[in-house]
Structure 1
Amino acid sequence: MDPETLRPPKETGTVCFYNRVGGFGVIQPDRGGKDAFVHSSAVEASGLACLAAQLRVRYVLRTDQRGQTCAHELTLVHD
């Protein structure tokens, strides 16, 4: 089986806010529905220095150890 077919689909959305000091933010998905939490560790693991409000991003949703759905594998969307 192709490894790409096993990967979760990428979502797109807009950063609502990002608290650099607190190390977290929220992304509003384009498709609607519940906003996605994003932690600074996921931002750093994606090779990004920081996020800011109104940035467009592509991401994968994953459930963390506490059962919270979070954004991972972030990339910037250049419209």
Structure 2
Amino acid sequence: STGDYAGLSAYHARVVRPFYALRQRRPGYEVSVMKAAMEILGHKAGPARSPLANPGEEDRAELARLLEELSVPTAAQRASRAVPV
């Protein structure tokens, strides 16, 4: 609601800061991490182009954990709940 600065601060600490911390680990990671997040969520984003580095397994796992903590269903989670046709 309007003027809820405490709520905004809590949201920022819980949602925004962890993603920014991950994105700031390497130069150009802003793009690479967002592309990896899109892939984890099931959208074709493709790898980052050189000279940008793609996130390693550890960073991808952390990114997946962050998305899970926010209750964002990953492609794997949606596939496991799919009803066979």
Fold agreement, TM-score > 0.5 = no
Q: Which has the higher helix share?
A: 2
Q: Which has the higher strand share?
A: 1
Q: Which category describes the TM-score, using the shorter chain as reference length? A: under 0.3
TM-score in terms of structure 2 length: 0.27
TM-score in terms of structure 1 length: 0.28
Max radius of gyration: which structure? 2
